[in-house]
Amino acid sequence: MHFLFVKELLYVMSVVAVALAEHKLTMEHFHKAAVEELQNKLMDKEIAYRDQQRKLINEKELAVAEAKKRQWVLLARIDLSCVSYAWFPPFCCHCIVPFCHS
Q: What is the pTM of this model?
A: 0.50
Residues in the chain: 102
pLDDT value at residue 95: 52
pLDDT value at residue 56: 97
- Calpha distance 55→31 (Å, rounded): 36
pLDDT per residue as tens digits for the range 7-30: 999 999 999 999 999 999 999 999
What mean pLDDT value characterizes the chain?
80
Q: Are 98 and 85 in contact (CB under 8 A)?
A: no
